[in-house]
A and B are shown apart, each in its own frame.
Chain A
Amino acid sequence: MAEDSVVYATHRARLAVILIFFILLTGFLSSRIQLITIGLVSLSLVLGMRAYVSYMAASLRDLEVEFEHDPPLDAGEFEVRVVLRNRGLIPLGFVEYNLRHSPFIKFSKGATRGFIILPARSETVIRLICSGRVGRHRIGPVEIQARDIFGLYRTRTFKAGSITYIKIPPSYSVAVLRRLMAYARSLGLSRSRASGTGVEFHSMREYRPGDELKRVEWRKSVKFNKLVVKLTEREAQQNVYILLDSSHIMLSGPYARTVFEHMARAVTAILAYLSQRGDNFQLIIFGGPEMYGMPSLMRATRGFRVSVENISNVNFEEIAPGDRVESLMSAYKFLLRTLRRERNIVIIITVIDSQEYLEALLKISKELIGLRNIVYIVNPIITSYDMVGLPVWARGLYMVKTYGILRNQLNYSRILSKEGVNTVVVSSLDAPFKIARLIELHRSR
């Protein structure tokens, strides 16, 4: 019954109708025409309000709702617009709207819930500023209900507009990338002794159509009286496999600064660096109900684009606490299917939180090492992420209280190291450089 009705009476209507009947009956019993008149006028008003709300219910059902948004930004703000079109001839007043969205996304400006008036034959736009974060986030539908001016009646809650997903790719600082490049070159261990893309001088030759103008060596060209270009040494190519954990524990931390998001940004910076270096890479994101993985090793811009697309597909809403070991093993099986029989670098970015998980990780690592791969476990310090969201005065207490957790986590890393698995404990500050260093160290070998 309640589900079928489109107009509901509120508790105010109940009180009003009882009062009106009371006035009417008192008027009849005491033969006071004034009371009867007041009662009848009030009753007409109440019935009128009901009729108006019924009309609004019909109009709300036909309301057109669309979602628009500017290009989304990770760790930045972008505008989301909810467009409501009232095609009816009567304005809709006191319309309460409530934008449903993923609970993992927040709006820094604009109200996701409020009251609006929708003029007749009009288009109303609700503008919201969304604080972006990595992943795929749901926007919509909009829940809409309307009331009369006295709040006696209200319509059923209608859901308008189809669900829209905003995919936000992880951001990385260009400065970080430059520093990575500079860092790698400073090592000077990426030489391949063959001409190609690189910075180290290899040889000179005569200009051929298609050569980049910036490669023209003007001094030598004047000397030889012909255009001469400088060839650089092609840098060594490396296969890099990155397994990024996106399980529930990786979502720890304040908004947009969770472990997963930090690691996603770090990985993106690394992948950008690798793509510019001409390395092959494959990103596998595990831990959620769905595994997002590049089908095989890829390189350059295409590889980077696919990997970023994969990261931006992670839907936080779908991630629930579950069996992490099983998820890790699935990712490992997937990796084995695409792993090349070369000396690859495999980087597993995950938080170790239990003995069982540690053992699974150890098993995988040993198997991969047995296949002559170089394995690195990157272990983000999880409690440090929780601390970011805390007020300063409470951090000391929190640190004391969670010191046991930190100790355990560090202990797991030490166990891995003792077992011969390279383990790196990282924080959000140094993650990209530490990972880049690992890759570069082994490229030169």
Chain B
Amino acid sequence: MKEERVKEKAFLSIFLVLTLLAVGLIALAEKGGVGVPVFIGASPFNTGEIGTSSLVELLREKYGSVYVIASLNELDGIRASDKCLFVAISPETPYTTSDSNRIASYLARCNHPLLLIADENSTSNNLLRAVGAQLEVATVVTSTPSNGLGVAVYAPEEGVYLPAYPLSVFYVNNTRYSLYLDIASYIVIHGGSYTIFGEYTVDTKKYPSGVIAYSNITFGGQAREVVAYVLSDGSIFLNQVIDRNETYRSFALALFQSVCGEGGCTIIFDGSRYSPIPLSDLKNNLNSITPLYLSFPSLLGMVIANLIHPSTWLPPLLDYSNKVFAEMLRDHLVSSTLALLFALLAFAYVSRREVFVSDKPMSEEKLVEVAYAGNILKEIEKGKLKLGREDFKSLYEIVDSVMRDVYGLSLRDEELERRLSLLLGDEKARRYLKSMNKLYDKAVGLRRTPIVLSWSRVVAKYVRDSEEVLSKVGASLMRFEVVEKLARS
């Protein structure tokens, strides 16, 4: 009983778990697949060589409140603090005026709005304008020479070729940092209040590569002073240098320390300016994915996550099974077979506790009768009684005993033939006695003839003949009084 209850509970638990699992799978499938795509470029989500995820992690260790947004809408959910730093590193999608205003309005909520732009393109110039900084990153054109070696960087406004990897010197917190830039641009200063903290030299001409601009903005009726740090290259913050080069790491930390101070700063990395490759489209873009964008374990993890997600396999599975089922049901034979199969399954389930028995009538009590020679009785009943030479001897002795009892004569006495002939007739009496004596002699081995093919038939015949003879003399083999007579004799 207890065991059955446990089984019942186990069944309920399994049923509930399976139901929840099904609900969860459907919910996951409805919600959609794995949302993490492969980020390319200097995205803070990119864990590859040219991503900036290491910088984010580095700053998180120090400041804590470091956010990475995938959409500008997420700005609304980030609490404004005393200092708010918005960071854009080599953004690939240009900031529109609307985007810029949105960022500016968020920064205006903070007491000390800060902006850090590290961009070798003019993508973020709109944002600089929106915060009133009179700076812009100069537009440069890169091309690959016909010999295929290196990269040519051309500044159209200056009309000069710049070095692809210039050595720039930065001064942060009174520390000098010499850093190689990567296909860098330079910063064009249009006026306003600013401080140059980094520059590189090309043919004695200095090109600013790091400028701090101070400007005032009024947003929502609130006036704020915005400090914008602009660097003409984002490559100095990439994972490949942050992870491996102490100088670059120290520079980055020093720079952020000079911007944010020791704490109380909310840092927001903009991850919305890069075009990610969706996982669903991963197959088509597999060739373009390099370690620059993604580490192999991350890629493998993403692929597995995508594959095991119910949104990947559940809808197609259901759709496929539905189609197969619908196809099958069109065939009458298949649908009948299915119905029978399900009927058997349903029956097996429903009847698992049912005890099936073969419905036979109850066995009647059989009367027991004991027979001393039970085997002989059974053989007689079945008609399979075998008679032999010994049985003929028995028959002969019985008849002989009866004749001795009745006439005082044995079967061999000639007088008996005369007596019996009165009852049976001469011929019959003579033939009976002669045959009996001959067969008896054969049975006891005194003679070889007559030839007997079957003793069984011979004995049966002479039992009948003897019965006829004995009945004439007032005895019978079929009455057990004869047995008594024999017993008395």
Does any Cβ of B come within 8 Å of A22's Cβ? yes
Q: Which of B9-17, B278-286, B366-374 is the contact stretch?
A: B366-374
Does any Cβ of A come within 8 Å of B254's Cβ? no
Contact with B along A3-22 (1 / 0, CB 8 A): 00101111111100111011
Asked whether, in the complex, the Cβ of A395 is within 8 Å of the Cβ of B478, the reply is yes
Chain A contacts for B377, CB-based, 8 A = 386, 389-390, 398
Partner of B394, one of A101, A400, A410: A400
Asked whether, in the complex, the Cβ of B484 is within 8 Å of the Cβ of A429, the reply is yes
Chain A contacts for B355, CB-based, 8 A = 1-2, 5, 7-9
A369-397: which have CB < 8 Å to B? 381-390, 392-397
Residue of B whose beta carbon sits closest to that of A258:
B370
Asked whether, in the complex, the Cβ of A22 is within 8 Å of the Cβ of B343, the reply is yes
Q: Which of A244-252, A307-315, A323-331, A335-343 is the contact stretch?
A: A244-252
Asked whether, in the complex, the Cβ of A386 is within 8 Å of the Cβ of B371, the reply is yes
A18-B347, A22-B343, A29-B338 known; A255-B483 Cβ under 8 A: no
Contact with B along A416-445 (1 / 0, CB 8 A): 000000000101011000000000000000
A98 vs chain B, min Cβ distance (A) = 4
Does any Cβ of A come within 8 Å of B487's Cβ? yes
Does any Cβ of B come within 8 Å of A183's Cβ? no
A154-B357, A396-B478, A399-B477 known; A406-B376 Cβ under 8 A: no
Q: Which of B131-139, B315-323, B459-467 is the contact stretch?
A: B459-467
Does any Cβ of A come within 8 Å of B339's Cβ? yes
Asked whether, in the complex, the Cβ of A8 is within 8 Å of the Cβ of B356, the reply is yes
A131-164: which have CB < 8 Å to B? 143, 145, 147, 151, 154, 157
Chain A contacts for B464, CB-based, 8 A = 396
Does any Cβ of B come within 8 Å of A195's Cβ? no
A354 vs chain B, min Cβ distance (A) = 12
Asked whether, in the complex, the Cβ of B335 is within 8 Å of the Cβ of A29, the reply is yes
Report how far A112 CA is from B361 CA in the complex, Å. 13
Asked whether, in the complex, the Cβ of A113 is within 8 Å of the Cβ of B364, the reply is yes
B98 vs chain A, min Cβ distance (A) = 56
Asked whether, in the complex, the Cβ of A406 is within 8 Å of the Cβ of B483, the reply is yes
Does any Cβ of A come within 8 Å of B93's Cβ? no
Chain A contacts for B361, CB-based, 8 A = 96, 113
Does any Cβ of B come within 8 Å of A104's Cβ? yes
Q: Which of B106-114, B153-161, B224-232, B383-391 is the contact stretch?
A: B383-391
Partner of B380, one of A102, A390, A427: A390
**A-B pairs under 8 A by CB, number:** 194
B317-349: which have CB < 8 Å to A? 329, 335-336, 338-340, 342-344, 346-347
Does any Cβ of A come within 8 Å of B350's Cβ? yes
B318 vs chain A, min Cβ distance (A) = 18
Partner of B373, one of A98, A147, A383: A383
Chain B contacts for A201, CB-based, 8 A = none
A390-B380, A403-B398 known; A103-B478 Cβ under 8 A: no
Does any Cβ of B come within 8 Å of A254's Cβ? yes
Residue of B whose beta carbon sits closest to that of A101:
B365
Residue of A whose beta carbon sits closest to that of B466:
A396
Chain A contacts for B362, CB-based, 8 A = 96, 98, 113, 143, 145, 157
Chain B contacts for A100, CB-based, 8 A = 365
Does any Cβ of B come within 8 Å of A404's Cβ? yes
A104-B368, A252-B372, A254-B369 known; A403-B397 Cβ under 8 A: yes
Report how far A104 CA is from B367 CA in the complex, Å. 6
Residue of A whose beta carbon sits closest to that of B358:
A11
Asked whether, in the complex, the Cβ of A401 is within 8 Å of the Cβ of B376, the reply is yes
Asked whether, in the complex, the Cβ of A11 is within 8 Å of the Cβ of B467, the reply is no
Does any Cβ of A come within 8 Å of B486's Cβ? yes
Count of chain B residues near A, Cβ 8 A: 60
Does any Cβ of B come within 8 Å of A197's Cβ? no
Question: Which of B369, B385, B464 is most buried by chain A, counting CB atoms within 10 A of its CB?
Answer: B369
Chain A contacts for B339, CB-based, 8 A = 22, 25-26, 29
Asked whether, in the complex, the Cβ of A400 is within 8 Å of the Cβ of B342, the reply is no
Asked whether, in the complex, the Cβ of B387 is within 8 Å of the Cβ of A400, the reply is yes
Does any Cβ of A come within 8 Å of B76's Cβ? no
Does any Cβ of B come within 8 Å of A402's Cβ? yes
Chain B interface SS verdict (over half):
helix
B456-489: which have CB < 8 Å to A? 459-460, 463-464, 466-467, 477-484, 486-488
Chain B contacts for A393, CB-based, 8 A = 478
Residue of A whose beta carbon sits closest to that of B354:
A9
B479 vs chain A, min Cβ distance (A) = 8
Asked whether, in the complex, the Cβ of A387 is within 8 Å of the Cβ of B483, the reply is yes
Does any Cβ of A come within 8 Å of B351's Cβ? yes
Does any Cβ of A come within 8 Å of B314's Cβ? no
Does any Cβ of A come within 8 Å of B262's Cβ? no
B234 vs chain A, min Cβ distance (A) = 64
Report how far A106 CA is from B367 CA in the complex, Å. 7
Asked whether, in the complex, the Cβ of A11 is within 8 Å of the Cβ of B391, the reply is no
Does any Cβ of A come within 8 Å of B359's Cβ? yes
B246-287: which have CB < 8 Å to A? none
Asked whether, in the complex, the Cβ of A399 is within 8 Å of the Cβ of B343, the reply is no
Asked whether, in the complex, the Cβ of A405 is within 8 Å of the Cβ of B463, the reply is no
Does any Cβ of A come within 8 Å of B395's Cβ? yes
Chain A contacts for B391, CB-based, 8 A = 400-401, 403
Residue of A whose beta carbon sits closest to that of B388:
A401
Asked whether, in the complex, the Cβ of A397 is within 8 Å of the Cβ of B356, the reply is no
Does any Cβ of B come within 8 Å of A30's Cβ? yes
Question: Which of B344, B481, B486 is most buried by chain A, counting CB atoms within 10 A of its CB?
Answer: B486
A30-B335, A154-B359, A400-B394 known; A249-B372 Cβ under 8 A: yes
Chain B contacts for A17, CB-based, 8 A = 347, 350-351
Residue of A whose beta carbon sits closest to that of B392:
A400
Report how far A100 CA is from B362 CA in the complex, Å. 10
A381-B484, A400-B398 known; A21-B358 Cβ under 8 A: no
Lowest 9 A-B CB distances belong to which pairs?
A403-B394, A21-B343, A396-B477, A10-B359, A98-B362, A22-B343, A384-B480, A395-B478, A25-B339
List 4 additional A-B contacts (Cβ < 8 Å) besides A151-B359, A400-B398, A402-B373.
A9-B354, A25-B338, A98-B362, A400-B459
Q: Please, could you name 13 A-B residue pairs with CB atoms under 8 Å apart, sorted by A?
A: A1-B355, A19-B343, A21-B342, A22-B340, A100-B365, A103-B365, A154-B357, A384-B480, A387-B480, A394-B380, A397-B460, A403-B395, A406-B483
Chain B: residues with CB nearer than 8 A to chain A? 329, 335-336, 338-340, 342-344, 346-347, 350-351, 354-359, 361-373, 376-377, 380, 385, 387, 390-391, 394-395, 397-398, 459-460, 463-464, 466-467, 477-484, 486-488
